[in-house]
Structure 1
Amino acid sequence: MSRKGAHQHQQASQQIPSLVELDEVDLEENEAQVNVNLLPGLTGAVTRLMVGFREDDVETQFGQVHCTMKGVPKGSRPVIMTFHDIGLNYKSCFNPLFSHEDMQEIMRHFAVCHVDAPGQHEGASTLSTEYTYPSMDQLSETLPQVLKHFRFKSIIGLGSGAGAYVLAKFALNHPDKVEGLVLININARAESVIDSLTHKMTGWIQALPDHVLNHMFGKEEIQNNPDLIATYRNHITNDVNQSNLAQFFKSYQSRRGLEIERPVPRGNINARTLKCPALLVVGDSSPAVEAVVESNAKLNPTQTTLLKMADCGGLPQVSQPGKLTEAFKYFIQGMGYMSSASMTRLVRSRTASGSSIASCDSSRSRSHTNDNQPAREHTDVSMENVSNSTVDQTVVMSSRKTEDAC
């Protein structure tokens, strides 16, 4: 095993237990704080409800969507909404990230709504044979009903794989409802004819879990991280309803392209593209690298950030949750929120280091805003090659409109 593979193996192995841990609500995140020790007569369910935890099955025109709400929405501030990839649910996709200690500061500022696609949540029953599984476009149209159900005004979307596609589609059709997007392993294009034929041919000899694993992980990671792969194979096989998963998988493989186009100054300024800031994330050994880079090339460069994480595989939120949290916090601060939050390690390193790790166009720097007022201009930072040793010293950034003086 190579040194790089061994490091990934060790790092991934440390994350495996968090797949099954139940992430508890941090009581300090809620404005209406409750001292659980003073509530001995209440059941656990009532206590969890009082501190901002609820699970709802939201009825939509395309079926029932299971949602898990954590925290209490803060006034007009957006809610963080997650959407998972195929073969996963919100826990197995995002629990390692939201359980990370550095994420707790973000959760004190924002409520979180985890959305599970129809039939994909933990303990889901087999969908009726009369039920037609929604297309990816239709899945995106379940989200307006989720917002209406919880009375959300707007969201910051966090999606992985198929979930990234769903949230991006939602943002394209409802730009007034989305303030920002963090898209892990986004693929904006439709499945090619060659890919479709390949899936049909391999479908004769490969089981569904193998298809899903090949979607998530590259060959190098499958070879070098047997414990991680075994954990997800077991989860996909035993914890996810196979009939429901097959329908979700087929829906994703049948997706249409997002049909986005990069705006060109003095050209196609009205091109169809995301109107909100977007952070695109991919591991450097992920099978989604090419698709993410291509998606980035089609988005507005003044609104889009590409984060390519070095020594990282198909699930950055699992293998490197701390570094992804740092990038997420920096992204949110660039939107004008959390200005009173503690300085991130990334920014501290820029302040303390004598060497420059960023080039800044100070003439277009974003004006500062308070914590409750979103900025009208947004940070655009291209970050590549986040090393395995430390995020503080090896982030290479080219920056436009950054809020930090250079």
Structure 2
Amino acid sequence: MSSAEAKRASFARRAESLVERVRIMNTIYEKYIVNTDKSGELTVTVQGDLTQQEKRAVFITVHDLGCNHNSFQEFVNSPCMTEIKERSCFIHIDVPGHADNAEALPDSFNFPSLQMLGEDLVTVLDFLHVKYVMGLGEGAGANVLARFGLAHPTRVLGLILINATGSAASVLQSFKTKFIQWNNDDIAQSAESFLMYHKFGHVMEQLVGDNPDKEKIVTEYQKRLRSSLNSKNVGLYVKAFMNRKDLTLKGCKVDVILITGMLSPYASMVEKLHRDIEKEKVTMLKIERAGDVLADAPAKVAQSILLFCKGQGLLTSVVMPGVDRGRAFSTSSGSFDGTNGTRRLSRGISMEDYDKPNIRRLSIINNEIKK
């Protein structure tokens, strides 16, 4: 089979795996079922038009425990992410059995480890014909994406890791004997308490800091746990998280930003992970009065994502809040600034062309691997 025939066959398989395609406002959503080697079927929701990936930033997201792709989809659709969303595509991953209203996974199914999930994400990129991505993960999902970045550095432009933990389970040991009592029809109280602790922090009175909508946020989270998510499958993901192996990012070839909240139960573990990474590769943001940073401080997270992406040569036409667009770009030249590698926008360059990723780092990594 020629390369052209193989490519046509690949696109045909992708079309056959398309479960749903809808347009909401100006955004296209496509849902696929992707078969992987070690992790079984992954439900993949594509938000945005991947045919424009050469001109846009492409993110891959992996959700935390007790959540699914909706957590990141809601964040992306928040007002503070509007300009980033308009110039990006998002590939949202549901780990096995975590799609909305999914049936319980069969007893014979071996739920994958976080390492297996991370390694299998490259299958999703190949399936969608995506060259490289920016990783965006929270909690257990951040751990998965870190392992993906270590396994496939040439496919990753950078990693945005929220409440990522490097060490094996330790802070959770006191919960270990309590949370296992899952019921197929409902989540046992001990399990729900564990997930509330994991999501919002151990100070229940400050679950979401100073957010005036904290009761609504907590209620919505509990409602989702009890309704759209299958409790048995949620328990399997929790077990995989608690059985995780140590994660070391020493020697990581991918730039990383670590984000946590001061009220997060994992803040100290994020700090430890930060200490273990080469400082020229990592940035850390610790947000005050926040436990669940996506709910408590979405604007700060969005701003840090934008700054980090600009450092990777992405989203260069998006102006930081409070900066006048007319002063942000020079109209006299379209060349690169020799001092810091940034581009100055000329009258002859469109915003879409200006947003084309600057992927010099990947070529450097490829050369290092070949040596």
TM-score grouping bracket, smaller chain normalisation: 0.7 to 0.9
Amino acid at match of 2:279: P
Equivalence for 2:355: 371
Cα distance between partner residues in 2 of 1:253 and 1:163: 13
Match of 1:230 among 219, 225, 231: 219
- Tell me whether 1:317 sits opposite 2:317 in the alignment: no
- Tell me whether 1:296 sits opposite 2:270 in the alignment: no
**323 and 198 in structure 1: CA distance in 2 versus 1, 3 angstrom threshold:** closer
Cα distance between partner residues in 1 of 2:43 and 2:257: 26
Equivalence for 2:11: none
Cα distance between partner residues in 2 of 1:69 and 1:207: 34
Are the equivalent residues in 2 in contact too, given 1:78–1:154 (CA < 8 A)? Answer: no
CA deviations on 1:289-316 (whole Å, 9 max, x unpaired) are 0011111111121121101111111x21
**222 and 151 in structure 1: CA distance in 2 versus 1, 3 angstrom threshold:** farther
- Aligned-residue offset at 1:242: 0.7
Cα distance between partner residues in 2 of 1:158 and 1:279: 10
Amino acid at match of 2:313: G
SS of structure 2 residue aligned to 1:102: helix
SS of structure 2 residue aligned to 1:134: coil
45-54 vs 208-217, which moves further: 45-54
**232 and 374 in structure 1: CA distance in 2 versus 1, 3 angstrom threshold:** same
144-153 vs 100-109, which moves further: 100-109
- Aligned-residue offset at 1:339: 2.0
Are the equivalent residues in 2 in contact too, given 1:78–1:179 (CA < 8 A)? Answer: no
Q: TM-score, normalising length from structure 1?
A: 0.69
Are the equivalent residues in 1 in contact too, given 2:314–2:357 (CA < 8 A)? Answer: yes
Match of 2:173 among 167, 177, 196: 196
- Aligned-residue offset at 1:227: 4.3
- Tell me whether 1:59 sits opposite 2:35 in the alignment: yes
Structure 2, unpaired ranges of 5+? 1-19, 182-187, 208-213, 329-337, 344-353, 363-371
**96 and 169 in structure 1: CA distance in 2 versus 1, 3 angstrom threshold:** same
**75 and 377 in structure 1: CA distance in 2 versus 1, 3 angstrom threshold:** closer
- Aligned-residue offset at 1:70: 1.2
**233 and 119 in structure 1: CA distance in 2 versus 1, 3 angstrom threshold:** same
- Aligned-residue offset at 1:319: 1.7
Equivalence for 2:113: 135
SS of structure 2 residue aligned to 1:308: strand
**122 and 247 in structure 1: CA distance in 2 versus 1, 3 angstrom threshold:** same
Cα distance between partner residues in 2 of 1:274 and 1:338: 23
Q: Give the alignment of 1:3-402 within 5 angstroms.
A: 52-61=28-37, 62-73=39-50, 74-76=52-54, 78-91=57-70, 93-192=71-170, 195-196=172-173, 198-200=175-177, 207-222=190-205, 225-261=214-250, 273-313=251-291, 315-345=292-322, 366-369=340-343, 371-374=355-358, 376=360
**127 and 106 in structure 1: CA distance in 2 versus 1, 3 angstrom threshold:** same
SS of structure 2 residue aligned to 1:336: coil
- Aligned-residue offset at 1:82: 0.5
Are the equivalent residues in 1 in contact too, given 2:178–2:190 (CA < 8 A)? Answer: no
Cα distance between partner residues in 1 of 2:176 and 2:140: 17
SS of structure 1 residue aligned to 2:43: strand
Structure 1, unpaired ranges of 5+? 1-43, 262-272, 353-363, 379-406
Q: TM-score, normalising length from structure 2?
A: 0.75
**203 and 242 in structure 1: CA distance in 2 versus 1, 3 angstrom threshold:** closer
Cα distance between partner residues in 2 of 1:226 and 1:51: 30
SS of structure 1 residue aligned to 2:285: strand
Amino acid at match of 2:356: N
**286 and 365 in structure 1: CA distance in 2 versus 1, 3 angstrom threshold:** farther
**49 and 316 in structure 1: CA distance in 2 versus 1, 3 angstrom threshold:** closer
- Aligned-residue offset at 1:86: 0.6
Cα distance between partner residues in 2 of 1:150 and 1:308: 34
Cα distance between partner residues in 2 of 1:275 and 1:161: 21
Count of aligned residue pairs for this structure pair: 307
